[in-house]
Amino acid sequence: MSKPVKGFSKLSKEEKITWLSEHYFADKEKGVDILKKYWNRDERLQQLHDEFIENTISNYYLPLGIAPNFLINNKLYTIPMAIEESSVVAAASRAAKFWMDRGGFHAEVIATEKIGQVHFIYTGDPQKLRQFFIRIKPTLFSSLEDLTANMRKRGGGITGIELVDKTQALEHYYQLHCTFETLDAMGANFINSCLERLAEVLQEEADAYSDFSDDEKDIQVVMSILSNYVPNCRVRAEVRCPISELNEDPELTPSSFAKKFVQAVAIANAEPFRAVTHNKGIMNGIDAVVLATGNDFRAVEAGIHAYASRDGQYRSLSKAEIKEDEFIFSIEIPLALGTVGGLTNLHPLVKLSLEILDYPGAKDLMQIVAVAGLAQNFAAVRSLITTGIQKGHMKMHLLNILNQLEASKEEKTHFTSYFKDKVVTHRDVTRAVEEYRAQQG
């Protein structure tokens, strides 16, 4: 049984692993061997990975795949995707090929505003607070000049500061609601540094403000932090074509396919239980590209799911419609991404991923990521309304099952061919492998 440990962070990596193996591994040698197999042989590269986070003991790999044939705004892309789930990259690639022959994807960035807030408590006269804010607003802006100088040279910086009364939601709660333009940087550190400076100035100015009583001077700053909800940092992507061109599914006429597709998306918009899985499929594409390009997929996930609930009910992120004889499928989502700073300047595979994408700026990457989500959603809904999701997914999952059964290279070749025209289930694969091995003696 494990015991508390003191000074763990001061131990060397070898010492951390020794402690871990002594307390947690049933087979100490095997556990340590697995950890060390995932170390990079290049010591400098391994040190780089070790220093990304704290208490590093090894590397945790995800496959990096590529999905070619994405025609976006008349430019052809091959999109890198880091993900562990079978069929995601294949589905994205199929959707890309399908739409490349029908004009490709069209995407546009609607806005790039990011948000940060200084949250504080004030128990005095609201009118006095409003007058105080009007008076110090220029000082708040000027206090940031040194922090924003480089960003302003490139056309960014802080774009707005507003006092927001939130007392109806929480007693005595107010905030400075601040907006920023961070260009090709995601901007988290920049925004948070600006907010912390604003909090200091707010407190100092309140203490010196003569119109406040002693009680009113007691503005209590609770916290200063950026928001990962960025409804005014949005991107839209769409595909469209004549209904007659939706002609690659032999089981459905183009018109029936379009109507059924639109109905499936409408169900996801109306039913939260379906919407969650529908949007999870979209995030398969989005997260995979966000990870491959060194961005924060947790922040992206949180912001996008909040946006899906913006009217009080969780809904589909995508929209499908028929206008006259045209099928239109689109997505509009908030995305705060960066192509400079953070891991984009450090992780070698992130650098390669950005090179594969032809060194996109943040706006370009927003469009690429939105398209990846839309492509994934198209592939998933298309499967659901035709062959069903399991046929294609389990075909891609076949190798995972065979690996669980410790199949040899010869066995993998044999069963890939054997199940080519059969339904794949874990039970059927296990039974087939057992029978094959029995026959082989």
Residues annotated catalytic, as ranges: 85, 280, 296, 393
Tokens matching residue 28? 């100490």
The Cα–Cα gap between 309 and 411 comes to 48
Q: How many CB atoms lie within 10 A of CB 3?
A: 5
Tokens matching residue 201? 């100035």
3-state secondary structure of 214: coil
Tokens matching residue 148? 């924003």
DSSP alpha helices (H): ranges in 297-419?
297-308, 348-356, 362-385, 389-404, 409-418
Residue environment code for 42-71, b if the CB has 16+ CB neighbours within 10 A, otherwise e: eeeebeebbeeeeeebbeeeeebbebebbb
Q: How many CB atoms lie within 10 A of CB 271?
A: 15
Burial grade of 374 (CB within 10 A; 0-12, 13-18, 19 or more): buried
The Cα–Cα gap between 66 and 85 comes to 14
DSSP alpha helices (H): ranges in 236-361?
254-270, 272-292, 297-308, 348-356
Q: How far is CA 302 from CA 85, 230, 237, in A?
A: 20, 10, 20
The Cα–Cα gap between 50 and 41 comes to 13
The Cα–Cα gap between 211 and 228 comes to 36
Rounded (5°) CA angle 86-90-93: 150
